[in-house]
A and B are shown apart, each in its own frame.
Chain A
Amino acid sequence: MTQYILKRLLSGVVTIWFIATATFVAMHLVPGDPLSGDKAMSAEVRKNLELRYGLDKPVIHQYGIFLSNMLQGDFGISYTQKNRRVNDIIREHFPVSAILGVLALIIATVGGIVWGALTALYRDRWPDAVIMFFVVVAVSVPSFVFAMLGQLGILTLNKWLGASILPVAGWGSIGHMLVPALVLGLSTMAYLTRLMRSSMLEVTSADYIRTARAKGVSPFRIFYKHQLRNAILPVITVLGPSIAAITTGGFVVELVFAIPGLGRYFVQAVQQLDYTVIMGTTVFYGAFLVLMVLLVDILYGFVDPRIRVGKVSA
């Protein structure tokens, strides 16, 4: 086990190096100039700015500096936020995205398991049909439409009740997070519901269930002890990719609900060609995802004894 984790960690480090390099290359292919602004600058000012950001050195040299700074966990200073270090930007804004993401993930997982189990229990009866209809809607409608509708919904609710029950936008309290997290987690929840449903149905026809039933175990106990616990396993495997989808998919939600998350910063940085912020955020997200996938894999190894970690199957 330890050996497996070490091996995975090592490959994670190499992966992060690859991400960093790919980002660096993509960034330097971008046409345009991060220094240019509304007002043209004199050659003198330009030279000094290039000096400050190390743009005067050859690209390969810049790459070296970038890598060695990255090793020390330093992503440099933002081009547009003149006095802020990229590290500070990440430190201040990533937790916001993370909290939102975790909440969305919780909503998605709990919702997915509950709805999925319900559909399987009421297979081919009306609760199944209703839930599956919503699942279909949730995977088919683009997230920005949901975000818009969500905000409109809060507004209508507040108008109708004559009081601000939920804030329309902004960040700070749990009330600010609910609707954005729901919107963010919606498609994942739908996906998990489907997964849970099919995995429940598969389990229902398994031998051990029949045996338990034959032994006269109560239906609730069968459902709880055997079906649910076994059906949840596949849901855990997709949590890794889901975290990826949720944490990086927050752009639209963060934009619409005025949430100061990192995703919004990234889009802004791309629009302003803020080299350091783009590279910093991408590498950070990449590293974060690598770590998450690793964690989920290890977790899976603990939960399911059948998986012999160390010998990764094809």
Chain B
Amino acid sequence: MTTHLNTAAMNNLSPADFMPLEKERRADAIVRPSLSYWQDAWRRLRANRRALWSLYLIVGLLSFSYLLPLIVSFDATGQDLTQISQAPSTGRSSLIVDTTPWTGRFAKHGDDAADLRKATGLEIVGEPHTESVRLAWQPVEGAIGYNVFRHLLTPSGDTDLGLPLGQTELANQVSFEDRLKLQSVTYFYSIQPFNRSGELGDYATIEVTPRHATSIESAITRGLISLEQKSSAVGQEIELKRHVMGTDYLGRDILARLVYGGQTSLFIGIIAPLLFVFIGVVYGGVAGYMGGRVDEIMMRFADFVIALPFLLFMILFRVAMGIGPGESGVTPMLIALVALGWPTAARLVRGQVLQLREQPFVEAAQLMGANSHYLIWRHMLPNVMGVVLVSLTFSIPTAIFTEAFLSFIGMGVAPPTPSWGAMCNDGVKSFLSHPHELLFPAIFISLTVLAFNLLGDGLRDALDAKMKG
């Protein structure tokens, strides 16, 4: 080693330079603040941007489901039959109408026609709106009834008339009232006469765009008008409730259902892993700590449970436990998840404990006379916690997927309890016509799974947990 001599300093020595130095009081003081294992991990986690963002996302999702309903009130069960399967929109106005069924029109039919002629004089009676569209036409000689169709495009021929709405029901009826799930879009109505031998005549078509309307009954039940206004309300325009994320097949607000569905999905997704990881820690810890025969028997049993085909048994357990009237079905699913999930965690923890037992610091502590209480709380648990936390984080996506999958095949939570998986199941049927009913819940599932996966990655790096079971 070389020493650099400062020649200038050497030349200017004073007696003071030869006095003994004052005794350093805090020679062993550590300049930087001491960091515990957890503080260190937290510091490293914060440095990981992705993990941090996913943590924010999780907090966001949790507050979306649990805090938001405390601030804003959501109605997840209220049905609005005038707004079924509506796409996301911001408010719309609606006409209040009286929905007393129409008696219809009748006309005498001659019955001596050789050929059925084309129907004529097809017209709309009254104002067409989404509660009812009324059609009437001139009688066709020889016809005993009429088929009524509704299309979204201009019909191009006999086999392209659209939805068969039905037939006229009474003899001599020359009118039809359509009330089938009308929307405020352009429709092409066609009527087609038929005679006693089932022959069909040419069709006539008319184009209509009904206006959005609400029946006076439903306006009252939905609280849009008061009971006193009943007589005067018909014909008035009212503002309907806004549905930011649209409505589902019963006209329920999807946003509200997502909020409450999140409570179900997140609850199952987080509580189930918490429970089975806890059981796993206790079970695996005991097995690993005791060792020997006990360990062997305990772990053999865990191996058995691991060998059960997971999804098959999820379904079996779920069916075996059954759901009574009014129950949400969350508990059976939790129990099934816990019953099948704990051995993985137990195996992991046991492996860690076995390794730790051989570690020098544990031996040292033992030699110094530490009792097992001290050993477990001071050495084992803190060292196992890292691995446990990471495995917990990674179990959450699996649990959420399992809930979604079971609900998707119709074995999940019972209606009307919403869950994201169950909403996907409902939405998948109408995916092509109303994609929002599937998309929104699917996005929420994906976001949650994504967030927990990224957080798990971050935690693993931060805790430097080697996941060896």
B424/A136 in contact, CB under 8 A: no
Main secondary structure of the interface of B (DSSP, over half): helix
User: A142's contact among B309, B355, B442, by CB below 8 Å, is which?
Assistant: B442
Inter-chain contact A145/B424, CB cutoff 8 Å = yes
Instruction: Confirm or deny: A19 has a beta carbon within 8 angstroms of a beta carbon on chain B.
Output: yes
B 437-469 binary contact with A (CB < 8 Å = 1; else 0): 010001001110110011000000000000000
Using known A-B contacts A19-B308, A289-B309, A314-B354, determine if residue A26 contacts B316 with beta carbons closer than 8 Å. yes
Task: State how many residues of chain B have any CB contact under 8 Å with chain A.
Answer: 41
Q: How far does the Cβ of A59 sit from chain B's closest Cβ, in whole Å?
A: 14
Chain B: which residue is nearest A271 at the CB level?
Answer: B410
Q: Contact at A142–B424, with CB atoms within 8 Å?
A: yes
In the complex, residue of chain B having the shortest beta-carbon distance to the beta carbon of A194: B457
Chain B residues with Cβ below 8 Å from A22 are 308, 313
B interface footprint on A275-287 (CB within 8 Å = 1, 0 otherwise): 0001001100110
In the bound assembly, the distance between CA atoms of A244 and B312 in angstroms comes to 11
Contact across chains for B320 and A248 when beta carbons are under 8 A apart? no
Confirm or deny: A251 has a beta carbon within 8 angstroms of a beta carbon on chain B. yes
- Interface residue? A249 (CB, 8 A): yes
Q: Tell me whether A282 and B438 are in contact (CB under 8 A).
A: no
**Complex Cα distance A142/B431, Å?**
15
How many angstroms from the CA of A199 to the CA of B321 in the assembled complex?
Answer: 42
How many residue pairs between the two chains, A and B, have CB atoms under 8 Å in the bound complex?
107
Inter-chain contact B431/A248, CB cutoff 8 Å: no
| Chain B positions within 8 Å of A293 at CB level | 307
Q: Which residues 403-446 of B sit at the A interface, judged by CB distance below 8 A?
A: 404-405, 408-409, 411, 421, 424, 428, 431, 438, 442, 445-446
B351 near A144: Cβ-Cβ < 8 Å: no
CA of A255 to CA of B317, assembled, Å = 21
**From residue B383, how far is it (CB to closest CB) to chain A in Å?**
15
Alpha-carbon gap, A208 to B192, bound state (A):
84
* B319 lies within 8 A of chain A by Cβ: yes
Residues in B neighbouring A267, C-beta threshold 8 A: 315, 409
A140 and B405 form a contact (CB under 8 A): no
Q: How far is the CA of A25 from the CA of B74 in the complex (A)?
A: 43
A144 touches B408 (CB 8 A): yes
Collect the chain A residues with CB atoms within 8 Å of residue B354's CB: 314
Q: Which of A242-268 contact B (CB under 8 A)?
A: 244, 248-249, 251-252, 255, 266-267
Majority-rule SS of A interface residues? helix
Asked whether A148 is an interface residue with its Cβ less than 8 Å from the other chain, the reply is: yes
Nearest A residue to B299 via CB reads A314
- On chain A, the residues within 8 Å of B454 by CB distance are 136
B303 touches A15 (CB 8 A): yes
Q: Given A30-B319, A145-B438, A314 and B355 touching (CB < 8 A)?
A: yes
Q: Which of B5-61 contact A (CB under 8 A)?
A: none
Task: Let me know if A144 and B313 touch, CB within 8 A.
Answer: no
List of B residues within 8 angstroms of A143 by Cβ: 405
A142 to B446, Cβ gap below 8 A? yes
Q: Is B397 an interface residue (CB 8 A)?
A: yes
Most A CB within 10 A of own CB, among B316, B322, B351, B401: B316
Q: How far is the CA of A252 from the CA of B450 in the complex (A)?
A: 21
Question: Is A4 located at the chain interface by the 8 A CB criterion?
Answer: no
What are 14 sample pairs from A and B whose C-beta atoms fall under 8 A apart?
A: A18-B307, A19-B308, A23-B316, A136-B453, A136-B454, A140-B445, A140-B447, A141-B442, A141-B445, A142-B421, A142-B442, A252-B409, A285-B312, A289-B309
Residues of A within 8 A of B (CB): 11, 14-15, 18-19, 22-23, 26-27, 29-31, 136-137, 139-145, 148, 244, 248-249, 251-252, 255, 266-267, 270, 278, 281-282, 285-286, 289-290, 293, 314
9 new A-B pairs (CB below 8 Å) besides A15-B303, A244-B309, A251-B311? Answer: A11-B300, A26-B313, A30-B320, A30-B322, A142-B421, A248-B310, A249-B311, A270-B315, A286-B308
